Structure formats: structure tokens, C-alpha cells
Amino acid sequence: MLLKILVLALGSAMFPALLAGAAVILSRERPARLLLGFWMGGLLTSVGMGMLILTAFGEHAAALDQTSGSLSPGAQLAAGVGAMFIGWLLGSKKGRSVIDSWRKRRSLRHPHDGKPKLAWSERMLGNGSVRVAFVAGAILNLPGPFYLIALGDIGAAHYPTLVDLGLVLLFNVIMLLLVEIPMVGYMFDPERTDRLVSRLAAWLNRNGMRIIAMLAGAWGVSLVVHGLLGVA
């Protein structure tokens, strides 16, 4: 179970909203304080919500684990094909051209004075406020599907409360690695970290969509395989 939780936590670290928030903060001139605020907001909210969910569901926490095994074969196939289609849209040149065309048509229908429309995370984090970064971290780290699956596994194992808390903390520490690594770096070697952060921000901007596409595609293939096995 521990290996599954680790894999789910790594998957959560690559969720689009979290990637976008990290990329926006890392692109600021002095991101150290913003990283700390974002991390504190995300960790406190996510850990608190996780423990609250485990307490609320009690013995029925396993119901949170909506993995492929709990879906009918037909639902698995449909969800798998949908996830693979999303992966194709985000990861292929043809798919991205489709998205670009849709964006152009949408901008023509909804003009905004020639100014590029910023993403929600960029608008929220653009003023460089630690308080806003805290709130953004709290919002962007509300429990997602991978986290709920992990909570289902933790609850089904009926561990003592302290063990539950330790596993929830482990999940969240891994999920927030893209924030924690540069945050720690700024404490010990700000100049070198600043150079590395610039490279990381550029890398995230170049490869973020590809990472999300690979995760969606892999998840889709897994669902399709389970669905076909269920039909057979």
C-alpha cells in the first residue's frame, strides 16, 4: 500500500493547477517568501482536510478509493478512452493545434481589448503578496482524485490515528516537492537556487503539458486494460 501512496502522491505533484501555481511563483523575481506562503497554505489545508475526511468517513473510508476496480467494465472503458483523448490533446502537435484553434475562436467571440487573458493562478499570484500566496496554496491543494484514493487506502487499513497522520503528511510532503525543493534551496544558497529556479520555471513552461499528457494517457491505458479484462 505504501508504494501505491507514493505513486499517487507523485501523480498529484503533477496536477495542472499545482504545476501552474508553482510555475507562476517561480517566475517571480523574489519567490522565496511566496513559496513559503503557498506551501503553508497548501500543507495546512490539505493535511487538515485529509484528517477530517478520514475521521468523517471512519470505517467507510474505503469508499473514497474510486479506483478502476470499483467501476463497471463499461465505465472503465469510457473513462479510459476519455483520459487517453485528453492525453492526445495535450501531448501531440495535432491535439495542441486543435486547442489553439479553439482558443482563437473563443478569443474572437470574447475579445478582451487585445490584452492576453491570464490564467486564474497568474492573476491571483501576480501581485507578489504572501497572504495571497497562502490563500492560493490552500485553494489549489484541496483534495484531488489521487489524494482521495490514497485516503481510501489509508482508512481501509484501520491504522491508529498517529499512523494515519504520518501517512497523510508523507503524501503531502511528496505532493509539494516542486515547492519544497526550491524553498529549502533559498534558505541555504539563494544565488545558486535562483539560477536553478529560473531553469526549472522554464522547464515547467516547456514540459508541463507533456507531463500531464503522459499521466492522463497512462491512466487511460490502465483503465482500458482493466475494462477489457472485465468484459472478457
CA distance linking residue 136 with residue 130, whole number of Å: 10
Q: What is the pLDDT of residue 167?
A: 95
Alpha helix positions (H), 58-144 = 73-91, 93-109, 120-125, 130-140
- pLDDT at position 187 is 86
pLDDT in tens, 189-211: 888 888 887 787 777 667 767 77
Of residues 49 and 132, the one with the higher pLDDT is 49
Rounded to an integer, the average pLDDT of 168-178 is: 94
pLDDT, one tens digit per residue, over 87-135 is 888 778 887 787 778 767 766 665 555 555 555 555 556 556 888 889 8
Query: Is the sign of the CA dihedral 183, 189, 191, 196 positive or negative?
Result: negative
What is the percentage of the chain residues whose pLDDT exceeds 70?
A: 81
Share of the chain above pLDDT 90, in %: 16
Q: What is the mean pLDDT of residues 58-75?
A: 61
- Pick 67 or 77 by higher pLDDT: 77
Mean pLDDT of 140-168: 89
Contacts of 154 (CB under 8 A, 6+ apart): 5, 54, 61, 164, 167, 168
Q: Are 137 and 20 in contact (CB under 8 A)?
A: no
Residue with the larger pLDDT of the pair 126 and 185: 185
Q: What is the mean pLDDT of the segment spanning 27-49?
A: 89
Residue 80's pLDDT band (cuts 50, 70, 90): confident
In this prediction, residues 211-221 reach a mean pLDDT of 77
The pLDDT-based confidence of 224 (bands split at 50, 70, 90) is: confident
The answer to which of 17-31, 107-121, 161-175 has the lowest mean pLDDT is: 107-121
Task: Quote the pLDDT of residue 107.
Answer: 63
pLDDT in the model for residue 86: 82
Query: Which are the contacts of 68, defined by CB distance < 8 A and separation ≥ 6?
Result: 76, 222, 223, 226, 227
Cell of 52: 477530517
Check residue 68 and give its pLDDT. 44
Distance of CA 176 to the CA centre of its chain: 9
**Res. 59: pLDDT tops 50:** yes
